[in-house]
Amino acid sequence: MGGNGRANCWGYGYNPAMTVQNAHDKFFRESFGRVHIARNYLEEYLPDPVLALLDLDTLTLQDGSFIDEEMREHQTDLLYQVQLNDGGAASIYLLFEHKSFPDLLVALQLLRYMVSQWQQQVKEKVPLTPIIPLVVYHGERAWHIATEFSALLAVPEELRPYQPNFRYHLSDFSHLSDETIRGEIWLRVCLSVLRAIFNPRLRHELDDLANLVFQLYGQRTGVEYIRTIMYYLSGATERVKREDLEEVLLRQGAKGERVMATIAQEYIQEGIQLGIKQGLEQGRIQTLQEDVLDLLHIRLGRVRPQVVGGITAVSNTETLRQLLREAATAETMEAFVDELARLTSGE
């Protein structure tokens, strides 16, 4: 997982802890979490014999809750359920995994997800369901890793029948790959943005990308998705600056100005909410400090300036609560001062 704490008013920079990989993951989930985008991807990129088995009218996004606590930090991107096209009640799962770098062990990661889902079905006493693992890749280099799980195992041919094996369906949208971007406008926009993010010429191709993106303007939730894209371009790459994005938006005329105004308003609101939260926290700290000082004064008399300074320098609420308990129980001011020194020695 890479990192980039660059902050700005374009969205992903709000949180200094947000990493570049978080930005990729967030954009992928916000894109492929839209059923119409996931459906169009399946229509365009699944092999025809597999596609013919699926009733895509029943495609439903699952909440991914099958991931256990041990795997939570490695939670898979998206899980869909779809019924088979045979008129029966049978269904399968489509497991979407997104990668922005070549990952040799992705097959092992997918196997863990699949087994976790099957374990959940055993727990719920329902029949095990087939799962199709799908990997969407858009890194800097083309993907040259085998898509079969068996490629991870160096074993004699005689032992292979005893080893697990499956294949994941790979779509390589790296900027160096030959994969053609097809589909309806929503999918083409999504995949074009994913491909462009690692292109060294991204800054010079922003206008063409923006012209494609703004074809969504006027469609339902189109402006919302355009904002999502602008946040992603700002937070996931150093190849473009905020000023570059602003210039591109302004060249889109009134539509671009509206998107800019909406982003700015969201930034202001985010700042207000952050300020309120910080103000409330600071208020709690100040109240605790005053409570400690008041209680000390009531129980043990005048509080020396050095002690006052030591207490007001404490900003950890748990430490202040401990000091409040000590102020209520210390037999002498010296005993309290010793405890103050002990509690704050590591700060």
Partners of residue 131 on adjacent β-strands: 93
89 sits in the region (left: phi over 0; alpha: psi -120 to 50; else beta) called: alpha
260 versus 167: the higher-pLDDT residue is 167
What mean pLDDT do residues 122-151 have? 92
Partners of residue 135 on adjacent β-strands: 97, 170
Residue by residue, DSSP assigns 162-225 as GS---B-EEEE--TTS-PPP-SSHHHHHHHHHHHHTT-TTGGGGHHHHHHHHGGGTTSTTHHHH
Q: What pLDDT is stored for residue 157 in this prediction?
A: 92
pLDDT digits (tens, 9 = 90+) for 58-101: 999 987 544 444 544 445 568 999 999 886 666 788 888 889 88
pLDDT digits (tens, 9 = 90+) for 245-286: 888 888 988 888 888 777 766 555 555 455 555 566 777 788
Show Cβ contacts of residue 141 under 8 Å, excluding neighbours closer than 6 positions. Answer: 102, 174, 176
How far lies 292's CA from each of 30, 112, 306, 344, in Å?
47, 52, 14, 15
pLDDT bucket at 2, cuts 50 / 70 / 90: very low
User: What are the tokens at 209?
Assistant: 């990308």
How many residues are listed for the chain in this entry?
A: 347
User: Using an 8 Å Cβ cutoff, are 136 and 197 in contact?
Assistant: no
Give the DSSP H or E segment for 276: helix 254-300
How many secondary structure helices (H) and strands (E) does the chain include?
12, 5
Q: pTM, whole model, 2 decimals?
A: 0.69
